[in-house]
Amino acid sequence: MSKTRQAGAGMRYTLGQFASHAFLLALAFIFMFPFYVMLVTSFRAPQELFTPEFNWLPQVFTGAHYYIESLTATPVLTFMKNGVIISLGILLVQLLTAIPCAYALAKFEFRGRKLLFAIVIFALTVPIQVPALPLFLGLNAIGALDTYFAAMMPFFLSVFAIFLFRQSFKSYPDEIIHAARLDGMSEWAILWTIVVPGSVPAIAAFSVFSLTSHWNDLYWPMIVIRSNELMTPPLGLAYFADSESGENYGALMATATILTAPLMLAFLFAQRQFIRGITMTGVK
């Protein structure tokens, strides 16, 4: 009797699995379709784009034509260089400021600690769009608009990093910190050579989060960056897509591919860290 039941359950099991796979594959097709369109269009000749019928593959082989066009005719590489400088610059300052602050909040008693932490919690909920106007006016007042500094400044402090690192440091064993004090290390040395190496996973996850969100950010660069030489990938693409009134979709899609590729490739190589880093905030 038990045998027949097992067989029955097994059958239903594989049937369920089959149905799940069928459904997920269909959805996966829909989810991948924009990526497919992006890639396939970047290889299509313009005359194909304006024909009324749909072809799955390019009818004429264009090779890397649009990629070369994108790289030479538009400052794509400059955009990427700016993206790297700005997002790495932001990350560096964020780590240098947030790590000591988080350590003080996690391990020391000092006057004003509770107030500071309360402000950090409050600031966690405030998105960049809120202080944007005064920050813009302030940057304008010091004549710093349209610089790398302007693009990075609002993000120098990450309250999220403070919050996250505080959690991580709090769980670091006090005994090891005590041992380091007895061994003669200063508090700064304890932080950077003992505690920080123990929090590498949290720091890596935050770095992924920070790099992706600032590489992808359009809002703030759109406000403070005017010159082509300083544009970030999203701003450059938005600008380029706009000015290409001739609807040169091949080159546009090639540019989109080039600008999306670094993060996507990084994601494919370090999926776990990426998923952890991006979902950590709960807010995309």
Question: Which CB atom, from 68 or from 178, has the smaller least distance to other proteins?
Answer: 178
Instruction: Kindly state the tokens that stand for 181.
Output: 């004090």
Distance CA 130, CA 154 (A): 11
Q: Is 101 in the site for other proteins (CB under 8 A)?
A: yes
Write each residue from 170 to 199 as x if it is in contact with other proteins (CB under 8 A), else as -, in one continuous string.
---xxxx-xxxxxxxx-xxx-x-xx--xx-
Q: Is 75 in the site for other proteins (CB under 8 A)?
A: no
Identify which of 209, 134, 130, 127 has the alpha carbon closest to the alpha carbon of residue 165.
Answer: 209
Q: Is 45 in the site for other proteins (CB under 8 A)?
A: no
Distance CA 242, CA 239 (A): 5
According to CB under 8 A, which one of 50, 243, 245, 246 is a site residue for other proteins?
A: 50
Of residues 104 through 123, those in contact with other proteins by CB under 8 A are 104-105, 107-111, 113, 116, 119-120, 123
Identify which of 65, 103, 43, 80 has the alpha carbon closest to the alpha carbon of residue 253.
Answer: 43
According to CB under 8 A, which one of 16, 72, 201, 226 is a site residue for other proteins?
A: 16
Identify which of 159, 156, 148, 158 has the alpha carbon closest to the alpha carbon of residue 83.
Answer: 148
Question: Which CB atom, from 71 or from 124, has the smaller least distance to other proteins?
Answer: 124
CB of 171 to other proteins, least distance (A): 12
Burial per residue of 132-145, b for 16 or more beta-carbon CB atoms within 10 angstroms, e otherwise = eeebbeebeeeeeb
According to CB under 8 A, which one of 89, 205, 233, 254 is a site residue for other proteins?
A: 233
CB of 43 to other proteins, least distance (A): 14
CB of 72 to other proteins, least distance (A): 19
According to CB under 8 A, which one of 10, 96, 201, 226 is a site residue for other proteins?
A: 96
According to CB under 8 A, which one of 1, 3, 54, 245 is a site residue for other proteins?
A: 54
Site stretch for other proteins (CB under 8 A), options 60-68, 70-78, 142-150, 259-267: 259-267
Distance CA 145, CA 153 (A): 11
Q: Is 18 in the site for other proteins (CB under 8 A)?
A: no
What is the CA angle 6-12-16, rounded to 5? 140
Q: Who contacts 233 (Cβ-Cβ below 8 Å, separation ≥6)?
A: 79, 80, 82, 83, 215, 259
Q: Is 38 in the site for other proteins (CB under 8 A)?
A: yes
Distance CA 235, CA 215 (A): 10
Distance CA 218, CA 2 (A): 61
DSSP state of 191: I
According to CB under 8 A, which one of 24, 64, 77, 118 is a site residue for other proteins?
A: 24
Q: Who contacts 146 (Cβ-Cβ below 8 Å, separation ≥6)?
A: 224, 225, 226, 227, 230
# binding residues, other proteins (CB under 8 A)? 114
Neighbours of 282 (CB within 10 A): 5
According to CB under 8 A, which one of 138, 149, 204, 273 is a site residue for other proteins?
A: 138
Site stretch for other proteins (CB under 8 A), options 59-67, 70-78, 143-151, 249-257: 249-257
According to CB under 8 A, which one of 63, 143, 246, 282 is a site residue for other proteins?
A: 282
